[in-house]
Chains A and B, each alone.
Chain A
Amino acid sequence: MTVKQAQPRKNVSSKDNPSEPFDAMPLRYGDDPYVWACWLYYEDGMTQGDIAEAMGISRATVNSYLAEARERGIVNISIEPARLASLTVAQELKRHFGLVDCLVVPSDDKARSLIERLGGAGAQALQRLLKSGDTIAVAWGRTVLSIGERALAPGLQDVTVVQATGGTRASFGYTPELCASSIADAVGGKLINISAPAIVSSNDIRDMFMREPLIESQFQTLARANKALFGISSLRPNSTIHTSGFFESVSLQDYLARNAVGVVAGRFIDGHGRAISGPLDERTIGISLEMLKNIELRIAVAGGFDKVPAILAMLRGGYANVLITDAATARGILNADGVPEIDQRGAHRGRVDSLPAASKTTQRIYTKKFLNNPDRVVDELLEGIVKSHVHLLHPIDKSHRALVARNGPRSGKVGLVIGGGAGHEPGFYGYVGKGLADAVAIGNIFSSPPPGPILRCTEAASGGEGVLFVYGNYAGDVMNFEMAAEMAEAKGIPVRTVLTTDDIASSPLEDREGRRGVAGNLFIFKVAGAACDLGFSLAKCETLTRKANDRTYTVGVALEPCSMPQTRRHNFDIGPDDIEFGMGIHGEPGVVREKMMTADAITDRVMDRIFSEMKPAAGDQVAVLVNSFGATPLMELYILFRRVEQRLNAKGVTIVANWVGHYCTSLDMVGASISILHLDDELTVLLNHPCDSVTLKMS
């Protein structure tokens, strides 16, 4: 064995006798290979591969030495305390108030004033958060102006900056007009002012202003804002609210008497973030608190100990989802809300976190995905769906977790509600439309939706004749849909349920009810939707749907696992030559693992299994679905279909309809499933009934 000096490195001399691996270790390190490995890694900056060569051990061993050295405390990684503290406190604020982001500037900088430092941090945040095409509402304040003076966001296109409130005749240096225009200059955006005073002398005058076409159009821009930037003012005697002259002092007293603690975009809130009504409300021209809360990204910038109650109230009210503040204020907010011992917690969390990671000796492999914020994947997906298919479906509420067909529910018809977790696209929104489901409830990835959106779907789908639920047989879905069914019944909507159980590999025939529902859902939704559209009774719709389920047979095969957007890691291991039969649509491991085989051999295994239950006779008719789990391309699906057709043909069975493509996926899993619907005359009529949805269109 030789020691190669591949990389130049400082202060480590190589030994002349390379036959003993640990000879390479200078005496001063003692005989501890952990210390030696750590020295080379952290002090000399060598790669793990080079250390492995230098020490004559495997790369994996080096990796485990380094991990164990951290665990045993041989190596301690320290971060400068002030910086760590502000990072920890930011994490804690983010977690406690459910913020999208939080930036805390350290409190140790004496060279610049707080307003300057917050301005700098705000400018940085704005550069990161503002994107081409955004419309940002900007409120007024010293901190906001300070951001405008420091921000520079070149390269953005089509940004609109809209003043969040009317203007003022007061003569302070950070009026609403100045704040908005400084941000617009900084980001190269188009500026929309509100050409009216922020506060007018009476309710009537405000209404007159609001009816002016110019102001109306300015407010339309404001209502389109997807981002907002604002400061928070306290109501303490020396605060800008008093000194600016923006509000009349008479009115201020009135709000103080009602326990106002702060002002957000010209509106008063109490200690729990509730809006306080007062004499100015009807005379104010500007963004309302409700409008503000509807904006997607709401950046609040404020600091200073006197503002702690106001910022806390603002956070409790949910007016901001991005907070920029300083460390002392941040700690004050958490203390005021009864979150103690931040530092200990931070330390504790770090220690626990390192344990599972340290024991890993293999390198983690992350899959690449098109992502922004992994936690918002489902929301962004649904936003895309709603915009893309605006003519077919629309969201029942702001959350987009419940979608209803535009041309679906009608009185005198049984409503059809489907649903399930995200990750199966186009399952299940793709099956919502005329002649199919009336509404769909969507959960988190691979997780059932909660009862709330299911109930909203039920109410939207109800046409007075009852509602049919059709969904896959999974413990979570059953619990949530059952809860929703109970709530719907309590509101006078009769509900019947058909659980889909088409995955014949998931349980033996004796436990048919225990099987899960997979891609064969397509056939079952199709039949159920047709039955409902034909105006059949709830009981008949249920019976027909059950028949479709009983006559649908699916078997899936996975070649590679899928990875969740949050982890971007494969959710189970599968050997390089292995495939899984009986794979479902959630990345659960399959039921039998086999060695890789040809496409025809796989298809034959699947078809044999299906035939053993379906028992087709010559002259029978079927519908066929060859479905990709996500990453398998059409090319391979057609290779599978080709063999499916050969096998059916050999039995004298006719394919009257077929679908080949992505119909019920499992994120990016490589694999496919084959589903067969064993038709009879009744089912054939229902299968051919016209429908119009994103995924299925028949006329």
Chain B
Amino acid sequence: MTDNAARVIGRMFSDISIAIDAHKDHLTALDGAIGDADHGITMSLGFNAVTNELAGMDLDHVAASAVLASAAAAFLNAVGASTGPLYASAFLQAAKVLEKSETLSLENHVEMIVAMTAGIQERGKGQRGDKTMLDAWIPATEAAIKAQNDGADVRVLWNEVIHAAEAGANATRSMVAARGRAARLGERSLGHVDPGAASAVIILRAMKNRLDFS
């Protein structure tokens, strides 16, 4: 039995939720170094709310885009904070991609990554190098576009995406925060990986594991 796109997206969120839960303490510890130590808790809460919301949906009779839109609303309502609007915008933008064609083609994988990054960037008005989640999302997007232009297959493309995201997240170690609460720390934020970038890698990795088999 092959899953429809809505189910794949539903499972993808379940995977993300499990992966975030597994790294909850780690994310919270990263945030304790430069923020208010709640990033792991917040992300876990948000994705658990998404999973619970999707558990109540009839995934055989809804569009994949509707799953993403519901995930956006559930995440936002459970979380608030800054991650709430940022990821809600990301999922809503991804939903718009699937509204045009409800398939999980490779083109749509790339377009979804592009759209999610655009959603985060628009809402948070952030840039590359600000030491935020965008330092993982922007390189991931660039890698996805490049791999697609090079004619990479789904496996190769997602590997490139993850490599770029990981490299981007690690690079935040040597950045001075320009946005979010860490920004008040000035150069004391040096030497710490941004928790938002770290969780972005976890999310992308879970997406990869679900989408490159579909």
Contact = CB atoms under 8 A, between A and B. Distances in A.
Contact of B41 (A272, A479, A564): A564
A356 interface: yes
B184 interface: yes
A586 B23 CA distance: 22
A444 B184 contact: no
Interface residues of B, number: 54
Interface stretch (B24-32, B97-105, B140-148, B151-159): B24-32
B70 to A, nearest CB: 14
Nearest to A91: B21
Interface in B94-114: none
B82 A475 contact: yes
Contact of B38 (A345, A445, A474, A507): A445
A303 interface: no
Interface string B14-48: 10011001110110110011111110011001001
Interface string A436-475: 0000000111111111100000000000000000000011
A98 interface: yes
Nearest to A563: B37
Contacts, number: 142
Contacts of B139: none
B7 interface: yes
Given A96-B51, A443-B81, A479-B123, A584 B184 contact: yes
Interface in A493-549: 506-507, 514, 516
Contacts of A315: 55
B84 A480 contact: yes
B118 interface: no
Contacts of B33: 572
A408 interface: no
A594 interface: no
A357 to B, nearest CB: 7
B128 interface: no
A316 B17 CA distance: 18
A317 B57 CA distance: 10
Interface residues of A, number: 55
Contacts of A447: 38, 42, 79-81, 84
A96 B42 CA distance: 17
B186 A316 contact: no
Interface stretch (A142-150, A347-355, A610-618): A347-355
B59 A338 contact: yes
Interface in B160-203: 179-186, 188
A589 interface: yes
B52 A479 contact: no
B23 A352 contact: yes
A588 B36 contact: yes
A586 B55 contact: no
A337 B57 CA distance: 10
30 contacts: A95-B18, A95-B48, A95-B51, A271-B58, A272-B58, A345-B18, A349-B21, A349-B22, A352-B22, A421-B81, A444-B42, A444-B45, A444-B81, A447-B80, A474-B181, A475-B124, A475-B179, A476-B81, A479-B85, A480-B80, A483-B85, A567-B37, A571-B37, A572-B37, A586-B36, A587-B37, A588-B181, A588-B182, A589-B34, A591-B186
Interface of A: 95-98, 271-273, 315-318, 337-339, 345, 348-349, 352-353, 355-357, 375, 421, 443-452, 474-476, 479-480, 483, 506-507, 514, 516, 564, 566-567, 571-572, 584, 586-589, 591
Given A98-B49, A452-B76, A589-B34, 6 more contacts: A96-B52, A338-B3, A446-B38, A450-B84, A474-B82, A588-B36
